């Protein structure tokens, strides 16, 4: 016996194309907002986008890369000074090989940063040439590092946190698909807009997917100082109407979220993306309030963004349920 769903009612189309294509390729959008796309056939050198990588990686990785680059460069030039002979550096007072190398290393750091304390100095043309090359690399390197630091600080990022799970919760006389989000930063976001798209396998051809623009209870808020629970009412006009948890899993459903806002700090428009797969939806639950109103002001507890409690979903009348046929 095979369960086959009735044809889903087509909602109004807006003409927007998500760009994922119609063929079923698994999850389209990862939880962190990155696209689940593996690129093949790119030229080897084109795969190294140095500037983009250094701008977008975490601060921990960026700091480790800068420190590692600084140490490696100084080790290379310390080795060069040692290779040509430490006697080409005046002022070296160490006697052992390891101590001489350390003095050459610290002289390299002084040359690279153009500090130049003066105790050690090159006394041959070859040593002076190496020091001149290193000082030039130091100037260029710190100019690049300064530019990258400015780019990282000046680049507006949407630090919007989404609830780990969406919920299918009671809503008015029926149910609603809900998830919530909050701004993790203290900056002011205004004119915040939300869009929600449902991706499902085509009932007639399971290898293809169809996309539905879901109607939201509220699509835009002027200010975003608190949390925002985004609600899609599951009514007669919704493609989710009458679908059970197992039927939603059968369609391989994915809910794709796009948030657009204006960052008042940077005076720029920012975007944030995420998605929820069918197995990331909790059925029969509602979110626990994360806002507390006190005489001293409104308290927003970000630790409660993922907390929910069980809630009874309304039972649809038999005539409102989606029909099934045996085949």
- Domain map (residue ranges) of the chain: 24-37+157-326, 57-154
Query: 58, 54, 91: which is closest to 69 by C-alpha?
Result: 54
Map tokens 């925002």 to a residue. Answer: 228
- Report the chain (327 residues): mean pLDDT per 10 consecutive residues: 46 55 68 70 67 85 94 95 92 90 93 87 92 93 91 81 94 92 88 92 78 92 92 91 88 92 86 92 93 89 93 66 39
Cα–Cα dist 112/142, whole Å:
9
What pLDDT sits at residue 304? 93
Confirm whether 24-37+157-326 and 57-154 share one CATH topology. no
| Domain covering 24-37+157-326, topology | Immunoglobulin-like (2.60.40)
Looking at the DSSP assignment, which residues form a beta bridge with residue 190?
223, 262
Query: Looking at domain 57-154, which CATH architecture does it have?
Result: Orthogonal Bundle (1.10)
What pLDDT sits at residue 13? 47
Cα–Cα dist 112/140, whole Å:
10
What pLDDT sits at residue 198? 92
Measured at the CA of 210, the angle between CA 205 and CA 211, to 5 degrees, comes to 175
What pLDDT sits at residue 9? 53
Query: 74, 89, 221, 250: which is closest to 160 by C-alpha?
Result: 221
What pLDDT sits at residue 45? 61
> 286 phi and psi, to 5 degrees?
-135, 150
For β-strands 3-5 and 324-326, DSSP reports them as: antiparallel
Query: 180, 322, 185, 323: which is closest to 259 by C-alpha?
Result: 180
């Amino acid at each position: 016996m095979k369960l086959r769903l009735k044809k889903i009612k087509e909602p109004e189309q807006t003409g927007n194309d998500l760009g994922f294509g119609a063929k079923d390729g698994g999850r389209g959008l990862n939880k962190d907002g990155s696209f689940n796309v593996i690129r093949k056939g790119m030229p080897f050198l084109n795969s190294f986008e140095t500037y983009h990588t250094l701008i977008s990686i975490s601060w921990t990785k960026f700091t480790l890369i800068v420190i590692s680059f600084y140490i490696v460069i100084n080790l290379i030039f310390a080795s060069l000074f040692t290779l040509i002979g430490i006697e080409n550096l005046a002022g070296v007072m160490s006697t052992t090989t390891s101590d001489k190398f350390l003095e050459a290393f610290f002289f390299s750091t002084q040359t690279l940063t153009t500090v130049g304390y003066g105790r050690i100095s090159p006394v041959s043309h070859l040593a002076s040439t190496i020091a001149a090359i290193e000082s030039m690399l130091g100037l260029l390197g710190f100019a690049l590092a300064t530019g990258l630091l400015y780019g990282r600080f000046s680049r507006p990022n949407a630090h919007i946190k989404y609830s780990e799970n969406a919920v299918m919760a009671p809503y008015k006389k029926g149910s609603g698909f809900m998830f919530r989000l909050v701004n993790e930063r203290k900056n002011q976001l205004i004119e915040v807009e939300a869009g929600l798209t449902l991706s499902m396998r085509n009932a007639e051809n399971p290898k293809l997917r169809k996309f539905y623009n879901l109607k939201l209870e509220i699509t835009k808020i002027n200010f975003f100082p608190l949390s925002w629970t985004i609600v899609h009412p599951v009514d007669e006009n919704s493609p989710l109407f009458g679908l059970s948890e197992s039927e939603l899993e059968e369609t391989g459903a994915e809910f794709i979220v796009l948030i657009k806002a204006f960052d008042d700090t940077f005076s720029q428009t920012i975007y944030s993306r995420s998605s929820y797969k069918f197995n990331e939806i909790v059925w029969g639950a509602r979110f626990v309030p994360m806002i507390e109103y006190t005489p001293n002001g409104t308290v927003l507890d970000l630790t409660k963004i993922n907390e929910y409690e069980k809630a009874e979903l309304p039972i649809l009348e038999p005539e409102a349920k989606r029909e099934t046929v045996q085949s």
